[in-house]
Amino acid sequence: MAFHDTVERGIDYDLCSYGTSRLPFRGPCRDPGGGYAVALGGSETFGRYVKHPFPDLIEVDIGICLNLGCVIAGPTAFLSDPTVMDLVTGAQVVVLQITGAHNLSNPFFRVHRRRNDRFLHATDALRDLYPELDFTEVHFVRHLLGTLESADATRFAVVRDALRSAWTDSFAELRAAATGRVIPLWIARRTPDAPADRLSDGDPSYVTRAMADRVFGAGHMVEIVRPPVEDDDQEGKVFSRAERAAALQMPGPVAHRLAARALMERIAKADTKKGPPTTTGP
């Protein structure tokens, strides 16, 4: 473990890292010496503002589960991290959260390798597509995409297609790296069938059911669809007044319990299908 950190107020996330990885994960770090599972994803998997996120909850039934959720991270952060990919390869079960397509490098712009929400620079292709725009003061991906959407919806469709292609390639690469059972997890306010052409349509941004089915096969996602903000499970969240707006966007304890229950049902169902272990000899 490279480091630990402590949050002074609210929840102590006990941040840590594994091996040579520079990504901060929620602790305490687990020892993956024997059989283990991993939960790979963004802020929802990390469990911001909740004391017991779903990776902790499923540990009760399946043993060690490494919480490899990283705040604002997308597949780029994991694919570029050898330690994380080694952990994914060695896991018996990989819960893979479906994150948005917005925070991926693509032919039109580049994002930071670890902080995937950070816009690094526009490529010549984007400058040619939007010659009237100046990207000098753009520092975050959502700011960039909102600007592109507002400037011209027709041209933005070209960028969106590139993001969706990058998403499909990245998640296919993550899926292929896992040697254990992979369970894709959708945990969001909209369903996978809802419109996903604009940022305002909600997270995971620009991702459709057809995209997920292309990578994982139809019917393989565990789907947790959260209610609107006004009906969501705010009870049990821990956050300061300054964090309220961000906390309202994150799943609460009820959603995490639902996710854990659905994941365990999927794992148990798969174990049942495998049948009892075979024996040899007398």
Q: Can you tell me which residue has the tokens 């600007």?
A: 147
What confidence tier does 8 reach under pLDDT thresholds 50, 70, 90?
Answer: very low
Say what percent of the chain tops pLDDT 90: 75
* pLDDT value, residue 230: 59
**Per-residue confidence band for 278, with pLDDT thresholds at 50, 70 and 90:** very low
Q: What's the pLDDT score for residue 233?
A: 65
Strands (E), 8-147: 37-41, 65-69, 93-97, 109-111, 119-122
Q: CATH second-level architecture of 37-116+163-274?
A: 3-Layer(aba) Sandwich (3.40)
Closest CA to 1 of 24, 49, 248: 24
Query: pLDDT category, 281, cuts 50, 70, 90?
Result: very low
Q: 226-270: per-residue pLDDT in tens?
A: 887 756 667 788 988 888 888 888 999 999 999 999 999 999 876
pLDDT in tens, 156-192: 999 999 999 999 999 999 999 999 999 999 999 999 9
Whole-angstrom distance, CA of residue 215 vs CA of residue 263 = 19
- As a whole number of angstroms, the distance between CA 265 and CA 271 comes to 10
Q: How many CB atoms are closer than 10 A to CB 227? A: 11
DSSP state of 125: H
What is this structure's pTM?
0.89
The mean pLDDT of the chain is 89
Q: Is the pLDDT of residue 6 over 50?
A: no
Q: What pLDDT does 60 receive? A: 83
Q: Where are the domains of the chain?
A: 37-116+163-274
User: What average pLDDT does range 185-201 have in this prediction?
Assistant: 96
Query: pLDDT value at position 80?
Result: 94
Cα separation, 204 vs 191, whole angstroms: 10
* Helix/strand/coil for 62: helix
Q: For the segment 12-23, what is each residue's pLDDT rounded down to a tens digit?
A: 899 999 999 999
Rounded to an integer, the average pLDDT of 135-152 is 97
Indicate if the pLDDT at residue 200 is higher than 90: yes
At 39-70, the pLDDT tens digits run 999 999 999 999 999 999 999 888 899 999 99
CA–CA dist 130, 232 (Å, integer): 39
**Which percentage of the chain shows pLDDT scores above 70?**
90
